[in-house]
Structure 1
């Protein structure tokens, strides 16, 4: 049976708790996904990640992933807006995940394979120079995805790649290179709390933040008071908050890549 046909049949059977759906679920999952599992991610190397976000995460005992890049505009050299590499190294030393957002925030659908490889090389070289582990997760700049990336990233040893889309991640349905997430930017608290509450019945909620606040790109800022409100809610309601790399505890990545075809829709 062709892989795509097998996948769609599995989805139908899963709805009824039958045969092939159960088989694929058992192969893709290393262990059951618990309710209230949240992944926190932060993009763009905003300086507030080091000065505000990381201390709060430590306060509440939460994990998190910081997707770093070196923006061209406003320039990464402006340290009133972006972290230094010493601060990024500090995130790693505190136990957080440092991961790849390309070097220059280039959208993957505008690059060929060699160009994307060069962008990955550059961030990996920065990490190596600062004694930060080689990234194993990736975030798509602008939430733009492309087959070039979903093919190259696993070859380079990446386990998960995060996009957008405003929906929960279903490990038995979503390819590991195309994880959906919810944005926490702005002031719509109802949207964020509604997203958080979707972490049940095998679904994982991945939250995407930028600066808290974001002084480089104010249209994606999260007000600090609201961010702390979200963390307090997660803590008080006993959510388990992890970094993106930690999903490998639950997901058999090679099997998920083999079994679950990429679906590029609904990821912006």
Structure 2
């Protein structure tokens, strides 16, 4: 690790420059992928009830087709999320894995989502989620050039702002019924680490293998509230992280992000 090459004083100064303010314990980021219709009909009302923030990474799937509104949100519903104070962010237009795209192709995918947002009066996205958790050096270079602050992958581990590159944020999936695993993940939000949770549909009728049962989702939210976790959107990490300095000094590591 690059910090190990520095003396203890220099390492501390480097971390201090990346961390804008101390990372509090019990800091959790909620992120939601794929524009599932349950995000508007079920998830958003619950988040408002609990007073939690969240980021919704939207795309227009080709299969099952985005036109099927029994499975996916309308853009009016997506606009409604933004008007309620939630973050609407980019998951590419057509859920394309970035390791299979050229730089111009990824640029076109970003352009398309940004154009949809502009047409609906939604602020230009500043965070990104990698479809399929697939990352690529081309993407980690292009996204900051386009003004993106953070990009989320997978990996099943907590985010360490002092060492993890802003374009390669790890997260935990809460899909399935293993509540012990999810609660164990949440409890890792301490000691300068942030827990980022990836959620798909609640339930996910388009992709049932990543569904989260509604009763379990509400159980997780109840746990977060009862135990006084601070639950924010991904963009809000910029309050704690000096993104330009992190981009300049933290090397990207692509392992352990699936």
TM-score by length of 1: 0.95
Superposed CA offset, 1:9-53 (max 9, x none)? 414769xxx222201110001100000000000000000000000
Residue 3 of structure 2 corresponds to which residue in structure 1?
10
Structure 1, gaps ≥5 residues long: 1-7
Is contact 1:11–1:173 with CA below 8 Å preserved after alignment?
no
Distance of 1:12 and 1:82 partners within structure 2: 49
Asked whether the equivalents of residues 69 and 105 of structure 1 are also in contact (C-alpha less than 8 Å), the reply is: yes
Structure 1 residue aligned with 2:87: 97
Unmatched tracts of structure 2, length 5 or more: none
Alignment of 1:1-268 (within 5 A): 8-11=1-4, 18-268=8-258
Contact kept in structure 2, 1:13 and 1:21, CA below 8 Å: yes
Answer whether contact 1:165 1:266 (CA < 8 A) is retained.
yes
For 1:120 and 1:205, locate their aligned partners in 2 and report how far apart those are by CA, in whole Å: 26
Against the structure 1 CA distance between its residues 120 and 9, is the aligned structure 2 distance closer, same or farther, given a 3 Å change threshold? closer
* Displaced runs of 4 or more, over 2 A: 11-14
Aligned-partner Cα distance in 2 for 1:221–1:177 = 26
Cα distance in 1 between the residues matched to 2:74 and 2:106: 23
Q: How many residues align?
A: 258
What's the CA shift string for 1:128-164, capped at 9, x where partnerless? 0000000000000000000010000000000000000
1:209-240 C-alpha deviation (Å, 9 max, x unpaired): 00000000000000000000000000000000
Does the aligned pair in 2 maintain the 1:37–1:199 contact within 8 Å?
yes
Give the deviation of 1:82 after TM superposition: 0.0
Q: Aligned-residue CA RMSD in angstroms? A: 0.9
Distance 1:176 1:256 in 2: 7
